[in-house]
Amino acid sequence: MNQTPDEAAREKNDAQLVKSGWIVQDKEKMNFSQIRNVIRAFREKLPEIFPGRAEAPKTLIFAKNDSHANDIVEMVREEFDQDNNFCRKVTYQVNDAKSVLASFRNDYNPRMAVTVDMIATGTDVKPIECLLFMRDVRSRGYFEQMKGRGTRTYDGERLKLVTPSATSAKTHFVIVDAVGVTKSVKTDSRPLERKRTVPLKDLLYGVMMGISDEDTFLSLAGRLSRFDKQISREERKRFIELAGKDVKTVVHELLQAHDPDRIEQHAREINEAPDSRAPDDEEYEQARKDLARKAAATFHGELNTYIDQVRRVHEQLIDAANIDRVTFAGWDAQAREHTKQVVQDFDTFLRQHQDEITALKIYYA
């Protein structure tokens, strides 16, 4: 495979930096040669992984960043000797990302899609049979969500519409681990909290007044989830009276308003569309706004005030074990003595310097 001058220069520069010790060549940093080797090995192993297939399975490749994704797309096309339609990038940097995603879901091409985060979570592409990880993931929850892109089962007839040589239904998927992602140490999921500096009261009234961006909804969902763990049975009962539903349902609605799976499902419900048809941009946006309105409709002035008041009670620490007692109540005798001493010191200062300061000379004359 031939490299462009830019590719060759970058690969040579990476090698020189590693040799000189300026950077450490770890399993997650890949130069062009490494990407080529991974893609080539993957291509050579496909007949073993999917025997009897005439075409490559629908494969989702996870890249580290947008530049890395560009390199992978180019390598895949060259190694598989296919045109641009065979492998496409699906990231937030791509203008027609949603149409590419729809084709990846419903059409023969693209056979492979490279993404960073855009379809790592919440997007339903049932024909995916293979996940190729070319980036590591530190979050346990995020990794599980990424794997979830391959867990959708699919009946044989529908699978054949996009993968004609498939002989059975999709009952499993394959993970190809090129960076050790399945063995690396994982931490807990990324927190929902996106607006740590914004008070809960402001989040509540913001949603009530029509603010529906993802950061606000997720932050409020996280705060209310914590609120639900703090309140008493009576407080929970009062919440239901004011909201018409329990806290868990409110949190669920806030999260669903920005869940791509739920938004697509709701778009199909609104338009009475079959599962095989992906909603267009207008239908998707209409469904998102509808779910956001439903989630926001729960909040009103009385409920918001109640939530904020109860939160204040539970976040105020009251020490009932260590009871204080009064040890003294009266005039401070030491204060009187201190005052006398200050006056005496000042008088002494004036007498000592009466010959040095003009005003004092006049006073003492």
Residue 351 lies in a domain: no
Same domain membership, residue 122 and residue 12: yes
Percent of the chain's residues with pLDDT above 90: 44
Crossing angle (nearest 10°) for helices 214-230 and 301-315: 60
300-309 residue pLDDT tens: 999 999 999 9
User: Which pLDDT score, from 0 to 100, does residue 116 have?
Assistant: 82
pLDDT on residue 161: 95
Q: Is residue 218 part of a domain?
A: yes
The answer to the question of residue 192 being in a domain is: no
Most confident of 52-61, 129-138, 215-224, 331-340: 52-61
Residue 310 domain flag: yes
Which pLDDT belongs to residue 322?
Answer: 65
b/e burial code for range 14-51 (CB count within 10 A of at least 16 → b): beeeeeeeeeeeeeeebbbebbbebbeebeeebeeebe
**Range name among 62-76, 128-142, 313-327 with the lowest pLDDT average:** 313-327
How sure is the predictor about 27, in pLDDT bands with cuts at 50, 70 and 90? very low
d(CA 363, CA 365): 6
In the predicted model, what is the mean pLDDT of residues 35-57? Answer: 95
Are residues 46 and 158 both part of a single domain? Answer: yes
Percent of the chain whose pLDDT exceeds 70: 78
CB 252 within 8 Å of CB 242: no
The reply to whether 348 falls in a domain is: no
Check whether 18 has a pLDDT greater than 50. no
What is the reported pLDDT for 321?
63
Would you say residue 29 lies in a domain? yes
pLDDT band at 365 (very low <50, low <70, confident <90, very high): low
Are residues 166 and 31 located together in one domain of the fold?
Answer: yes
264 and 164 in a common domain: no
Same domain (yes/no): 17, 132? yes
Q: How many structural domains is the chain composed of? A: 2
Asked, for residue 331, whether it belongs to a domain, the answer is: no
Arithmetic mean of pLDDT over the chain = 82
Residue range(s) defining the domain that contains residue 92: 5-177
Cα separation, 113 vs 128, whole angstroms: 10
pLDDT surpassing 70 at residue 246: yes
3-class SS letters over the chain: CCCCHHHHHHHHHHHHHHHHCCCCCCCCCCCHHHHHHHHHHHHHHHHHHCCCCCCCCCEEEECCCHHHHHHHHHHHHHHCCCCCCCEEECCCCCCCHHHHHHHHHHCCCCCEEEECCCCCCCCCCCCCCEEEECCCCCEHHHHHHHHHHHCCCECHHHHHHHCCCCCCCECCCEEEECCCCCCCCCECCCCCCCCCCCCHHHHHHHHHCCCCCHHHHHHHHHHHHHHHHHCCHHHHHHHHHHHCCCHHHHHHHHHHCCCHHHHHHHHHHHHCCCCCCCCCHHHHHHHHHHHHHHHHCCCCHHHHHHHHHHHHHHHCCCCCCCCCCCCCCCCCHHHHHHHHHHHHHHHHHHHHCCCCCHHHHHHHC
Q: What is the pLDDT of residues 202-239, one digit of tens each?
A: 999 999 999 998 889 989 998 998 899 889 999 999 99
d(CA 46, CA 69): 21
10 Å Cβ neighbour count for 318?
6
Task: Say how many CA atoms lie within 13 Å of 200 toward its Cβ.
Answer: 19
Q: pTM (2 decimals)? A: 0.50
Does the residue 321 lie in any domain?
Answer: no
Q: Are residue 129 and residue 27 in the same domain, yes or no? A: yes
